[in-house]
Structure 1
Amino acid sequence: MPATSRIRFVLVGTQHPGNIGAAARAMKTMGLARLVLVAPERPLDEDAYRRSAGAEDVLGDAPVVATLAEAVADCWLVLGCTARSRRVQLEELLPEVAGQRAVAKAVELGEVAFVFGRERTGLSNEELQLCHAAVHIPSDPEFSSLNLAAAVQVLAYEVRMAYLALAAEPAPPPAAGFGEEPASHAQLEGLFGQLGQTLDDIDFHKGRAPESAMRKLRRLFAKAELTEQEVRLLRGILSDAQRMARLAGQNGG
């Protein structure tokens, strides 16, 4: 199967079923078929299938899940498509770079997700927090509103071009450390949850709001591209730190 079979497009909280159909059509024209729907406001209807214009199979195979975390739990790379700058500080990628990075990760046998938000409000800060990088389409600032299906088409095109370019190149030699599986999104979220609890247990924040520190730590670990083995090592260290914190509390330390 082609590497692009490991790339999914995730639509979060879509308000108009017709936009889902148009997005499915945009994907299929570029050879992409994996669509995931997160808590759409309305179920697929006749308008959705009509606007899919031949991509009914993409709609029919699209799972519907309750949360973004569930939709990307097994992913190695999650790219959030956003139209404007937010408080969540993520590396910002142009569509071309995002397509290249997605295909490269898929070639490594990693699952990849492009995430698109609601038509009116886009992705929330909490949802962007689950992404490894942000993708920004540099539309005209005087008329920056981009239809959901149009945004999907732009990213699907860049994935297609990156895949075709890679397919024309000779295969590279195996990378150092080959054989170690990168940590999945769910494994990283488990690490972040335990890290946040450990920082509370050792009173790291000293009364300060923990959100800023956790955002910075998320970015740090995203750059590290941790493997499953490294996550297990870090979680073992955190477990020992939590145990020592409990003992200190019991001894009145």
Structure 2
Amino acid sequence: MFDRVRVVLVNTSHPGNIGGAARAMKNMGLTRLVLVDPERYPDPNAQARASGADDVLAGAQVVATLEEAIADCTLVMGTSARDRRIPWPVVDPREAASKVLDQLEVLDSAEIALVFGREDSGLTSEELQRCQFHVHIPSNPEFSSLNLGAAVQVLAYELRMAYLQRQGQPTKMHKLETTNRQNEIPATAEDLERYFTHLEQVLMEIGFLDPAKPRQLMPRLRRLYGRVQINQVEMNILRGILTETQKAIGVQASGERRR
């Protein structure tokens, strides 16, 4: 689907910013880069800043005008200062991503352009008027200028997040300890009951729990542990702590105090 989305950079002055944009694109699964009249390209600085996104740079199309870059596009979104002479539809990056996906899903022939302007002055009013929507990144108004690569990253990230959510795919990866699959196995109800029995025993042995005046301690601890799903490895750690506590106070696992 993303092969129908192109990132268009207009009159970029520093080749390093082209490389940074290419890297941001590849991070989020975008590959089509169009350069409108870049001041210096190709250039070694672009490759250096791309940091492995050389395939995106290699496939970049260089054209003379914005009109040429967007000629076959059905949706064009421009990111830059707004043209204040004429009111224009303005969206934030998240809204822009939603509109892009809407069109890609309903129109098989859709071609989308995300247009980024010059580093120092953005897009001209005439260029902005060739965009159906203007995308405003709600940055700090006291320091609102974003690096070109950062701006590309923001839009590409929102587009990928929106796509993953629509596809029902996870938007975060859980870190797994590959050395022990037990980390993924929840403790059973029986494991928990054995633990609470063991815990109550140890609390009485160290004098923290008075059987004559329990003060709802064990129900409160059950509620506390119930807020998280303890896995097998965590259960083994908790039981191990209780066992070592008993050893430290001179009590064997059977509950008999050592002589």
Q: Show the 5 A alignment for 1:214-229.
A: none
Matching residue's letter, 2:113: A
Looking at secondary structure, tell me which structure has more helix per residue: 1
Structure 2: 5+ residue stretches without partners: 170-259
CA contact (8 A) 1:17 1:43 kept: yes
Q: TM-score, normalised by structure 1?
A: 0.64
Question: Structure 2 CA distance, aligned partners of 1:102 and 1:86?
Answer: 24
Equivalent position to 1:96, from 70, 94, 97: 94
What code does the residue aligned with 1:78 have? V
Contact 1:12 1:115 (C-alpha < 8 Å) held by counterparts: yes
**Higher Rg of the two aligned structures:** 2
Establish whether residue 59 from structure 1 lines up as the match of residue 34 from structure 2: no
Q: Decide whether the 8 Å contact of 2:16 with 2:46 is kept in 1.
A: yes
The residue that corresponds to 1:28 in the other structure is 26
Q: Percent identity at matched positions?
A: 59
> Could you list the per-position Cα deviations for residues 151-173 of structure 1 after superposition, in whole angstroms to 9, with x for gaps in the alignment?
0000000110111122229xxxx
Regions of 4+ moved over 6 Å? none
Name the residue aligned to 2:115.
115
Q: Which amino acid aligns with 2:99?
A: R
Q: Specify the alignment match of 1:133 in structure 2.
A: 133
Q: Which amino acid aligns with 2:54?
A: E
Name the Cα RMSD after superposition: 1.2
Amino acid at match of 2:128: L
Q: Within 5 Å, give how 1:1-253 maps onto structure 2.
A: 3-107=1-105, 108-109=107-108, 110-168=110-168
Partner SS state of residue 142, structure 2: helix
CA deviations 1:59-93 (Å, max 9, x no partner) are 01000001111101111100000144532431000
Specify the code of the residue in structure 1 equivalent to 2:21: A
Task: Give the distance between the partners of 1:38 and 1:157, measured in 2 at CA.
Answer: 23
TM-score by length of 2: 0.63
- Structure 1 unaligned blocks of 5 or more: 170-253
